[in-house]
Structure 1
Amino acid sequence: MKLGIIGTNWITKQFVEAAEMTGEFTLTSVYSRKLATAQKFGADFKNVTEYFDNLSEFFEQGTFEVVYIASPNNLHFEQTLQALKAKKHVIVEKPMFSNPAELKVLQKYLHHHPELYCFEAARHFHEPNFQSVKQAVKELPVIQGADLTYKKYSSRYDQFLAGEEPNVFSPKFSGGALQDLGVYLVYDAISWFGIPEDAHYYPVKLRNGIDGSGTAILNYPGYDVVLNVGKTANSYLPGEIYGLKETIVMDNAAELQKVELVDATGNGTMLSVDPAKNPMLAEAKAFGEVLRDTDSLQNKQLQQEWLAVAVEVNHVLYKLRQSAGLAFPADEHEVNY
């Protein structure tokens, strides 16, 4: 399948490399606000034939079938709809959209256009080690809670400290630690434990009101799941899920490179496999296999199941933001198609 991209940063390069590695995709079309930037990015991939600095022309004239969107968060909604209207399948980087209102519009559009597919690129959701944790949790006779951490110092934080306001630390662009890294942990919680009864977020806000870090508490019947997120410091704490006498321990609740089940005596059984060198390979393979046959009822069902999880993740993220008084300009926009 011919692939087009919006966004020319390192994460886009990593995804394109993974996508081409699967044998399902070939990058042919690159959009950037500056043509020279698009051309510089495309020079690393031998099959690129189209460069655009006009988004409307990109969608109207581009010969690609699938688009990968890795623009600032607040642009995802409009660009996704624009792509779908141009009859392109969409892979949109997490977080898919800013709020549930935008996702509701997407669901309505896809309902009226079942031939089109749209995926949220939450990479770890498709990895085998993620599924291993899910199965291990299912087999626990008792669940007493979990502590999941993902704190990673952002290179953009240096710019913020210098007085700038990069996209990832800007309310205008629907940024912040919860939206950027917290989405991984919310995917963990919903996939492994289900939808929480309640959710609260306690952020550490920066000078412009955005959350640089924070702690979320998700309430389940009889236990809580605690999520620690941050973009202003590095954490090396493992993630833990508590059974009765056994504990599922992971090196990191988002990276999931090592997962083991530790019994009451402290002996561990390895649950994980060695991760792929490119962490986006599993999701690229999953999307490629589904898009290979869009008429398949099984593939359509898979896409709907994945989208249903994305919707629940978005709802929980929004509820967490509301509990903390974190609002984005995107929340005030009237959305429709």
Structure 2
Amino acid sequence: MIRMGTVGTNWITQQFVEALALSGRYELAGVYSRHQDTADAFAAKNQAQTSYTDYEEMLTQADLDAVYIASPNSLHFDQAMAAIAHDISIVVEKPAFSNRQEMVAVQAALAQHPDVKFFEAARHVHTPNFQALSKALLGLPTIQGAALTYMKYSSRYDLVLVGDVPNVFSRQFSAGALQDLGVYPIYLAVALFGQPEHVQYYPTLIATGADGKGLAVLRYVGFDITVSFGKTSNSYAPSEIYGLKETVSLDSAGELTHVSERDAAGNVTDLSQPALANPMLPEVTDFARVLDAPADPQNQADYRRWLQWSTTVNQVLYSLRVSANLRFPADEND
């Protein structure tokens, strides 16, 4: 069993912990929160072995194999580096790091600790529906572009409207629409088509100074991908990838729960795979397979591919922000 620790006690950490339990490959060895009552409550709810309000103490005392980091974005880097220093593998919620400088530093630390693994928790690219989507694209005679959409109104925007600055809308925490929701379709584009030649971001800024929504253009050789995302309104539009007369459709570039293909005659084939008990189950199963058998050739190949995706997504997100002059305090030394 893989001994996992967690950082953060919000809904996404709860979903992750439930996926760990469903996989049968992990035990929850430690829970960290800044507040003792929150840590104790989360630990009790999920049968964790111990709870901590000191992160360093958890890393040194809980005998962890890996730690899941789901704190505000700007805190990921320091927490990841601390875990690596203790030879503890890391699963970091997307976006893993604020900028390319942090990614380079993490990669350098990993080189000094070769037994440590780094996984970015991009759940949708580990799902059976992503595999179905990838297979469908291989059957297209050509790719002529895509329109990817992921837009969901955030209840935290209500707080912005009355003058507050919640973490998810704060540049101080390396947050905003691109980092929170845009990362999903950007990850999808990178995993399917690789690194774009050129990118441009057109953000809509809100009162906090962060981007509340935005439009990104990713330019590839021979086609463009437009990416629309936001946290200040809702969209129910599907995402589409264009062949010649064929179109592959997704219900959402973030959720990826439904995939279909329309052929030249207009006939629709449903490619969707059975619904998952937990959307994070495929990724935690993939991570466990690498952690348990790191020398397996297939596991090594998969791990290298995931690392490349993570590195490229980090670069694309940073380049998009640079194109829009959207900077974070974490960028000061970049």
TM-score by length of 2: 0.97
Aligned position for 1:182:
182
Deviation at 1:269, TM superposition (A): 1.1
Deviation at 1:139, TM superposition (A): 2.0
1:178-327 pair list within 5 angstroms: 178-327=178-327
- By how many angstroms is 1:86 displaced? 1.2
Deviation at 1:266, TM superposition (A): 1.6
Shift of 1:297: 4.4
**Corresponding position of 1:24:** 25
CA contact (8 A) 2:146 2:242 kept: yes
Whether contact under 8 Å (2:160, 2:207) holds in the other structure is: no
CA displacement at 1:43 relative to structure 2: 1.1
Structure 1 unpaired stretches of 5+: none
Matched-pair contact (CA < 8 Å) for 2:129–2:272: yes
Instruction: Within 5 Å, give how 1:30-179 maps onto structure 2.
Output: 30-46=31-47, 48-179=48-179
1:209/1:326 contact within 8 Å kept:
no
Deviation at 1:328, TM superposition (A): 0.3
Q: What letter is aligned with 1:243? A: G
- Match of residue 329 from structure 2: 329
1:193 and 1:295 map into 2 onto residues whose CA distance is 28
Sort the Cα spacing of 1:57 and 1:163 in 2 relative to 1 into closer, same or farther, 3 A: same
Give, in whole Å, the separation in 2 of the partners of 1:262 and 1:231. Answer: 30
Moved over 4 A (4+): none
Q: Percent identity?
A: 50
Residue 134 of structure 1 contacts residue 191 of structure 1 at CA under 8 Å; is this kept in 2?
Answer: no
Query: Residue 34 of structure 2 aligns to a residue in which SS?
Result: coil
Taking the aligned partners of 1:111 and 1:131, their CA distance within structure 2 comes to 30
Q: Deviations over 1:236-291 (max 9, x none)?
A: 00000111101001111111111111012221111121220311111111111111
**In structure 2, what residue type is equivalent to 1:98?**
S
- Calculate the TM-score normalised by the size of structure 1: 0.96
Tell whether the 8 Å contact from 2:248 to 2:261 is kept in structure 1 after alignment.
yes
Alpha-carbon distance, 1:114 to partner: 1.3
* 2:132 and 2:273 in contact (8 A); partners too: no
Q: Deviations over 1:210-237 (max 9, x none)?
A: 1000000111122110000100111100
Q: Distance in 2 between matches of 1:290 and 1:166?
A: 36
Alpha-carbon separation, structure 2, partners of 1:61 and 1:39: 17
Calculate the aligned-residue CA RMSD, in Å: 1.2
1:183 and 1:317 in contact (8 A); partners too = yes
CA distance in 2, matches of 1:208, 1:170: 6
Unaligned runs of 5+ in 2: none
Asked if the contact 1:213/1:232 (under 8 Å) is kept, the reply is yes
Which stretch of structure 1 is more off in the superposition, 58-67 or 281-290?
Answer: 58-67
Distance 1:50 1:69 in 2: 17
SS of alignment partner, residue 172 of structure 2: helix
Give secondary structure in 2 for the equivalent of 1:56.
helix
Q: Which moved more, 1:172-181 or 1:151-160?
A: 151-160
Q: Secondary structure at the match of 1:148?
A: strand
**What is the alpha-carbon distance in structure 1 between the residues aligned to residue 155 and residue 75 of structure 2?**
22
- Aligned length, in residue pairs: 333
Cα separation, 2, equivalents of 1:186 and 1:95: 11
Q: 1:175 deviation in Å?
A: 0.2
